[in-house]
């Protein structure tokens, strides 16, 4: 498993992103009901911004952030001083160092999009194993990266079509989450689907994010699009379109809760 935008600067990018209105994780998680002394996992914790929030908001709980990037784990640890109920560990999400049925809540945000279909299944099966009966996974991801841009260009459309065919990143993962969770055995609650609409300052910030995502993913993209020029042309096309008057950019954010069924209760009914 690899993460195509792995880079030293990824910490700053994730912290910047988390401050934007459209990426407001506090709002995404405002429906959480957390038991006293819950065991919480932030799966694919990145800079640790969500882990820090959970540890502060639920001081009786114990929060562990897992990420397979050693650099990201070190950076997250450095940023999380003074929170004794929070730790970060390096691990791949399909092999978590957790005994079965130990965890009350797993938050997995903006990670599934980076996994192939096989990896998505392996990771969600692993979450199922780690959760207690009645435990919950909240999977949050975006649907529509680079697709819901108008005006567009033939080259943007071609790159998006190639991406959807070959799936190095899942641009339409949001809509798949309820089915993915059900396939791994979860009972799926009705998904929250929210519009991420970019205009004004929020659009300027998203352009900044697009620039850094493309720059950080350059080693991967150069190979995927077969040349550096093709990558540059893609970035220029996207930014040119977004700079035109009346341009439109929107994604949908899926916030989906899956519950691990309580086998005891189920067998009684």
Ligand X SMILES: C[S@@+](CC[C@H](N)C(=O)[O-])C[C@H]1O[C@@H](n2cnc3c(N)ncnc32)[C@H](O)[C@@H]1O
Least CB distance to ligand X at residue 266 (A): 30
Q: Do 259 and 161 contact (CB within 8 A), yes or no?
A: no
Long-range contacts of 113-121 (CB under 8 A, 24+ apart): 113/141, 113/142, 113/145, 113/169, 113/170, 113/171, 113/173, 114/3, 114/4, 114/169, 114/170, 115/1, 115/170, 116/167, 117/167, 119/1, 119/94, 120/170, 120/173, 120/176, 120/180, 121/180, 121/183, 121/184
Least CB distance to ligand X at residue 160 (A): 19
Q: Which residues contact 47 (CB under 8 A, 6 or more apart)?
A: 10, 11, 14, 15, 18, 72, 75, 76, 79
| Cβ-based nearer residue to ligand X, 18 or 163 | 18
Scanning residues 12 to 41, which ones bind ligand X (CB under 6 A)? 14, 18
Q: Which stretch binds ligand X (CB under 6 A): 55-63, 105-113, 129-137, 173-181?
A: 105-113
Q: Distance of CA 123 to CAs 19, 132, 210, 231, 252, Å?
A: 28, 16, 27, 30, 23
Q: Do 16 and 209 contact (CB within 8 A), yes or no?
A: yes
- Least Cα distance to 231 among 251, 210, 206 occurs for 210
Least CB distance to ligand X at residue 112 (A): 9
50 binds ligand X (CB under 6 A): yes
Cα(195)–Cα(190) distance, integer angstroms: 16
213 binds ligand X (CB under 6 A): no
Per-residue contact string for residues 65-84; x = within reach of ligand X by CB under 6 A: --xxx--x------------
139 binds ligand X (CB under 6 A): no
Chosen residue from 22, 38, 40, 46 binding ligand X by CB under 6 A: 46
| Cβ-based nearer residue to ligand X, 14 or 242 | 14
Least CB distance to ligand X at residue 96 (A): 9
Least CB distance to ligand X at residue 4 (A): 9
Least CB distance to ligand X at residue 236 (A): 24
Chosen residue from 80, 105, 109, 127 binding ligand X by CB under 6 A: 109
Chosen residue from 3, 128, 145, 146 binding ligand X by CB under 6 A: 3
Least CB distance to ligand X at residue 114 (A): 5
44 binds ligand X (CB under 6 A): yes
256 binds ligand X (CB under 6 A): no
Residues that bind ligand X (CB under 6 A): 1, 3, 14, 18, 44-46, 49-50, 67-69, 72, 92-93, 109-111, 114
């Amino acid at each position: 498993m690899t993460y195509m935008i792995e880079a030293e600067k990824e910490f700053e990018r994730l912290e910047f992103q988390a401050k934007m209105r459209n990426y407001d994780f506090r709002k995404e998680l405002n429906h959480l009901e957390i038991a006293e002394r819950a065991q919480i996992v932030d799966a694919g914790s990145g800079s640790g911004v969500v882990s820090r929030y959970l540890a502060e908001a639920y001081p009786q709980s114990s929060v562990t952030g897992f990420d397979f990037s050693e650099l990201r784990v070190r950076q997250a640890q450095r940023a999380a001083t003074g929170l004794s109920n929070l730790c970060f560990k390096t691990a791949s999400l399909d092999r978590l160092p957790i005994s079965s049925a130990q965890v009350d809540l797993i938050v997995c945000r903006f990670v599934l999009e980076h996994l192939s279909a096989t990896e998505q299944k392996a990771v969600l099966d692993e979450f199922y194993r780690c959760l207690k009966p009645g435990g919950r996974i909240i999977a949050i991801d975006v649907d529509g990266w680079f697709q819901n841009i108008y005006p567009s260009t033939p080259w943007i459309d071609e790159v998006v079509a190639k991406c959807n065919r070959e799936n190095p990143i899942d641009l339409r993962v949001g809509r798949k989450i309820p089915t993915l969770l059900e396939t791994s055995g979860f009972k799926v609650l009705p998904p929250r689907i929210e519009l991420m609409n970019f205009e004004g300052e929020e659009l300027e910030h998203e352009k900044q994010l697009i620039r850094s995502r493309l720059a950080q993913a350059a080693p991967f993209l150069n190979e995927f699009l077969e040349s550096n020029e093709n990558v540059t042309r893609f970035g220029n096309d996207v930014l040119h379109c977004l700079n035109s008057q009346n341009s439109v950019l929107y994604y949908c954010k899926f916030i989906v809760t899956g519950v691990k069924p309580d086998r005891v209760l189920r067998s009684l009914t």
